[in-house]
């Protein structure tokens, strides 16, 4: 069982529903609901395979991020197409039958939009997003389309059983920098209260317009962009077989920040 998986403040802050696979399917038409497969705690513990096929994940949203079975790269879903950025930077289109141990998607329908017309840092944009959606308990789906410079990304290499912990994997992650990129940044801002379920703060992936480059986003500079925000107050969580929501507890936020290389604003 995943440890310390849920912060008790989460219960009051979010309409969290852990559903069976059948229950999840019934709610597929709901708007402004984020769907999640797996939890960050189970991923941190080395549960890298998951049992939700990407085809099922895509039935619940056209935009999102995560990873795929065996932690074989960074998953990004944009315009209802799934891509995986592998550790060597190669971008592939995964088979719909490939499972995901951890992913979040939504049916993206933005409530807010703003343009960036001058050079701006990622941290500044994240602060602006936090101003636009100031309720700290909201889940914000983020899409930034534009031209970017100095794009720092990372990915992780496919693992083989017996799986190590996520911290051991990310200690050997590959990072690289893309000088200039036109594309889309996709991800979510999750409340701090979901630390064991998801990555608190801004968790973003990026992919180029030609779908040939991308990764888990560590940093970038924006030359020009349009930012679109979709606010969800509800998270539907699809738990892998054998994973239970545990008792309330403090999440290991430091470990998460280390693993995710957070650019906390």
Least separation in angstroms between residue 103's CB and Zn ion is 10
Query: ω before 162 within 30° of 0 (cis)?
Result: yes
> Between residues 66 and 240, which has the closer beta carbon with respect to Zn ion?
66
State how far the Cα of 123 lies from the Cα of 153, in Å rounded to an integer: 15
Write each residue from 215 to 244 as x if it is in contact with Zn ion (CB under 5 A), else as -, in one continuous string. Answer: -x----------------------------
Provide, rounded to whole angstroms, the least separation between the CB of residue 117 and Zn ion: 28
Rank residues 202 and 216 by Cβ distance to Zn ion and give the closer one. 216
Residue window 187-216: x/- pattern of binding to Zn ion, with contact defined by CB under 5 A: -----------------------------x
Size of the site for Zn ion (CB under 5 A): 1
The H-assigned helical ranges of the chain are: 8-13, 21-26, 40-44, 54-58, 122-132, 166-170, 253-260
* Binding characters for Zn ion, 15-54, by CB under 5 A (x = yes): ----------------------------------------
* Backbone region of residue 43 per phi and psi (left: phi > 0; alpha: psi in -120 to 50; beta: other values): alpha
Taking CB atoms, the residue at the shortest distance from Zn ion is 216
Residue 206 CA to residue 98 CA, distance in Å, equals: 21
> Rounded to the nearest whole angstrom, what is the least distance from the CB of residue 8 to Zn ion in the complex?
26
| Residue 189 vs 216, nearer CB to Zn ion | 216
Torsion of CA 71, 76, 81, 87, to 10 degrees: -50
SS3 of residue 146 by DSSP: strand
Closest approach, Cβ 92 to Zn ion, in A, equals 17
Q: How far is CA 117 from CA 112, 125, 147, 179, in A?
A: 17, 12, 10, 19
Task: Return phi, psi of residue 113, to 5°.
Answer: -150, 140
Least distance to Zn ion, CB of residue 204, Å: 8
Residues that bind Zn ion (CB under 5 A): 216
């Amino acid at each position: 069982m995943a440890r310390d998986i849920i912060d008790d403040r989460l219960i009051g802050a979010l309409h969290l529903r852990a559903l069976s696979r059948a229950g999840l399917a019934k709610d597929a038409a709901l708007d402004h609901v984020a769907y999640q497969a797996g939890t960050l705690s189970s991923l941190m513990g080395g549960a890298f395979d998951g049992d939700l096929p990407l085809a099922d994940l895509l039935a619940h949203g056209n935009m999102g991020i995560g990873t795929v079975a065996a932690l074989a790269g960074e998953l990004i879903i944009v315009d209802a197409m799934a891509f995986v950025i592998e550790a060597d930077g190669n971008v592939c289109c995964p088979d719909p039958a490939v499972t995901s141990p951890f992913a979040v998607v939504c049916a993206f329908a933005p409530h807010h939009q703003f343009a960036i017309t001058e050079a701006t840092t990622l941290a500044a944009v994240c602060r602006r997003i936090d101003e636009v959606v100031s309720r700290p308990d909201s889940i914000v789906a983020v899409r930034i389309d534009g031209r970017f410079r100095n794009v720092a990304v990372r990915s992780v290499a496919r693992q083989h059983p017996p799986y190590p912990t996520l911290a051991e994997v990310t200690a050997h992650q590959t990072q690289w920098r893309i000088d200039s990129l036109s594309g889309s940044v996709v991800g979510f801002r999750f409340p701090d209260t979901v630390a064991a379920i998801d990555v608190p703060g801004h968790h973003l992936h990026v992919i180029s317009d030609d779908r040939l480059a991308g990764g888990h986003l560590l940093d970038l500079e924006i030359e020009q962009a349009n930012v679109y925000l979709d606010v969800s107050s509800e998270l539907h969580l699809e738990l892998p077989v054998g994973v239970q929501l545990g008792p309330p507890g403090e999440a290991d936020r430091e470990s998460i920040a280390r693993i995710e290389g957070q650019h906390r604003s």
